[in-house]
Amino acid sequence: MYTTDQYEGMLAETVAIQGANGDRVLAYCARPLGKGPFPGMVLIHHMPGWDEWYREATRRFAHHGYASISPNLYERTGHGSPDDVAAAVRADGGVPDDQAVADIEAAMKYLRALPNLNGKVGVFGTCSGGRHAVLAASRVAGFDAVVDCWGGGVVMQSDQLTLQRPVAPVDYTADLNCPVLGLFGAEDHSPTVEDVAVHEEALKRHGKDYEFHMYDGAGHGFFYYHRPSYRQSQAVEGWEKIWAFLGDKLAA
């Protein structure tokens, strides 16, 4: 219950973590002030980069009571405007999965080291970040919930596998040890409705706890209010699904 007389405070700042190979990786951390204890959330940015939307989303999670951190998965490409950096990564076919998973694990451990964490950490991502979120939650112990928003490439054909992305995340489903919330648009081209069905079938087959929602009239990126892909009613409902899901799964 949100009340007008409650105390609110937040600390939001750039921090650094030790990611894959011990590399310094910048991260944006936003967390509620107070003794908590607070659940944690790792936010994995989308293909367009570690940008303003992800800083806002990180603060949004903090506003909702989550100690939140968003690591810059594009750190090794150098620094500059988010789109310039992301364009360079796009040209290279993305960052290596192993590196991304290790960076995400480091972000999770950063949260777990906080003195006022409630012991639970989830992971959220959109677009390529949704794929990374599923991948990390499947390959690394320590996540208690995963929110996959239209993650393309969770299901991959053999001709889509590369040195950087050698295994389709769906093939790790047996190893996934936390509940999944998936939000998708029926008009998306990646993932398609068929891709989502394959992912769902794998979750069912392995007896995993999951909740998928497919939104009609929405395509890729329907949360992005700064893009024509924004769909107001679907986005509002999607955020409500997220808060309900995380409120249930990350409670102490």
Partner 1 sequence: MCTMIVQKVPLEGFGKGAGGWFDMDQANVSWDHPFHAPEEHALNIDFVNESRGPGARVAVELSVESARQLVETIQKVLGEAEGKGLLKEA
Can you give the binding site for partner 1, defined by CB under 8 A? 47-48, 77-81, 83-91, 93-94, 127-128, 152-153, 160, 162, 188-190, 219-221, 227-229
Nearer to partner 1, 65 or 151 (CB): 151
What is the rounded CA–CA span in Å between residue 93 and residue 113? 33
Cα 69 to Cα 95, 106, 124, 244, distances in angstroms: 19, 10, 10, 20
| Shortest spacing between CB 175 and partner 1, in angstroms | 24
> Can you read off the two tokens belonging to residue 88?
């360079």
| Shortest spacing between CB 189 and partner 1, in angstroms | 6
What is the rounded CA–CA span in Å between residue 153 and residue 171? 12
| Shortest spacing between CB 125 and partner 1, in angstroms | 12
Helix or strand holding residue 247 (H, E): helix 232-249
Nearer to partner 1, 104 or 145 (CB): 104
| Shortest spacing between CB 194 and partner 1, in angstroms | 16
Nearer to partner 1, 111 or 156 (CB): 156
Nearer to partner 1, 206 or 227 (CB): 227
Q: How far is the first Cα of the chain from the last one, in angstroms, to the nearest whole number?
A: 17
Please name which of 61, 84, 70 lies closest in space to residue 10, comparing C-alpha atoms: 61
